[in-house]
Structure 1
């Protein structure tokens, strides 16, 4: 029984230190809820439970929903950068080229 308490205590201390280091190393933008200093205080003052709270609700993940849009249609900055007039002109040019190619292909081959 004493072995389990020693091993459990050792693992709790390792987890506590890891939580403190992770909380202090993360930039302030990756902290959810309260400020970075408050999270460090929570993790230090409430050793194991503070670490669990930090990893469960305090740490913002890279794949959070506000990271960036999934498709260009969802990105308003991308849509503002599109020049519709240039695109329409390019489409007209390509349609004219295509119609010229189709017209050239309609004539029979003059060779015997």
Structure 2
């Protein structure tokens, strides 16, 4: 197990440093261009990642939200529950008014059809009584 750790630990360090280097903006790479740091990390398996982590990039929080975590810290939106959101409540009222209008139209149409049916039945009954 200890032998495997001798290979896994440097490999994990190399992968971490490589991804960290790729995610670092070009202007935050110190001393060398970023592409040079990538080659150093990949070619010098143990020393390259350590040098990158120690001296390869600026270790301060970047201004302007260039990293995803910084952007999320600066662009937080207050989420409001639906029952506290006035726009959502207004949309519900508008939908409710539309639904009520449709329902009234349906009810009026149903009443009209029922009246027509009653008139037909009364007319049929009067014809049957005459014959």
Say whether 1:24 aligns with 2:30: no
RMSD over aligned Cα, in angstroms? Answer: 1.7
Give the distance between the partners of 2:39 and 2:47, measured in 1 at CA: 12
State the TM-score, normalized to the length of structure 1: 0.52
> Which residue is 2:5 aligned to?
7
SS of match in other structure, 1:12: helix
> Which residue is 1:40 aligned to?
38
Higher helix share: 2
State the TM-score, normalized to the length of structure 2: 0.45
Alignment of 1:78-93 (within 5 A): none
Structure 2: 5+ residue runs without aligned partners?
64-131
- Structure label with greater radius of gyration: 2
> Runs ≥4 in structure 1, deviation > 6 angstroms?
none
Offset of 1:57 from its aligned partner?
0.9
Give the distance between the partners of 1:39 and 1:32, measured in 2 at CA: 9
- How many pairs does the alignment contain? 63
> Which residue is 1:55 aligned to?
53
